[in-house]
Structure 1
Amino acid sequence: MRHFVRHPSEIPVDVRVISERASHSSQICNVSNGGLCCDLAQPLPVGALVDYRIPQIAEDYLGCGRVVWCERQCQGFRVGIQFSNEQDAYRARMVEQLCQIECYRRRVAQTEGRQLSGEQAAAEWISRHAADFDRCHTLSDLSEVG
């Protein structure tokens, strides 16, 4: 049984093993209260400390975590990163929520022809989806990340 609800995502992310210089660009596959999952071209070592940057939100948005699993995929590797603390988890969830609202705004424009402001989209999205998105969990089970 999962301890963390996964929320699908397509947010660009740059991941860097702290002991290395090179950064790996990717997209977040999903986010949970425990961490995030992303697809990378190169494997990352389990246990490696990483930082991640989410430039779509802010150039200086930076979080830290630890690689808890890495699995080979058809093209590349899927990597699970555990948040290093609850503050990083909270910040990542807020980023994810903002991106979900923006996706909602675009989807409404395409499917319904309504042009919503950011505030209107946020109000609608929150009333329709926030309860499912915001299920509270604790950071406790490392194996359930991403």
Structure 2
Amino acid sequence: MQEQSFIHHPSAVPVKMVVSDSQFPLPTIQVAASTGVYIHTASSYPLNSCVEVEINVQSPAFFAKGYICSCEPVADGIGYQTGVVFDCPETAFAVRMIEQVCHIEQYRQQVCSTEGRELSIDCAAAEWITHHAASFPELHTI
């Protein structure tokens, strides 16, 4: 799998993920060509299952449907690195945008704890964009 093409969801931002009650038709997942989001989860998820992802970085929460493409135990043995891919270009674009918001929020929290600076979300966004936006991965559908 192309590690650089996956966005690592920041652990400082809450995310919920559940296997969908109604499984949608499964697309063919080309793992080597896929891009998506890695989410640290407490439990493992069945490969190729359809999941509903809820990200609570703003109100209202963001929801998306995706598919599990990988689920590997993390090195410290606490949880799993779970790969989620998306089959709709609009969903992939929206996920990339909300993940940027998540990374900006993590940056804001990190600056507060390490530098003692209280940044507004707008100031944090401006700083984060200057330093990190150019290297933020694109998301492509499966």
TM-score computed with the length of structure 2 as normaliser: 0.70
How far apart are 1:59 and its partner, in Å? 4.3
Residue 54 of structure 2 is aligned to residue 48 of structure 1: no
Q: Number of residue pairs matched?
A: 127
Please tell me the residue identity of whatever aligns with 1:6: I
Are 1:53 and 1:59, in contact at CA under 8 Å, matched by a contact in 2? no
Match of 1:88 in 2: 91
- Residue 62 of structure 1: SS of its match in structure 2? strand
Identity score, percent = 34
Please tell me the residue identity of whatever aligns with 1:36: V
Match of 2:62 in 1: 61
Are 2:9 and 2:37, in contact at CA under 8 Å, matched by a contact in 1? no
Q: Which runs of 4+ in 1 moved over 6 A?
A: none
Match of 1:118 in 2: 121
- Residue 68 of structure 2: SS of its match in structure 1? strand
Match of 1:12 in 2: 14
Note closer, same or farther for the CA distance 1:111–1:91 as it changes in structure 2 (3 Å cut). same
Are 1:57 and 1:95, in contact at CA under 8 Å, matched by a contact in 2? no
* CA displacement 1:72-110 (0-9 Å, x = unmatched): 452344322112312222222222211222222233333
Higher strand content, 1 or 2 = 1
Mapping 1:95-134, distance limit 5 Å: 95-133=98-136
Structure 1 residues without counterparts, runs of 5 or longer: 21-32, 141-146
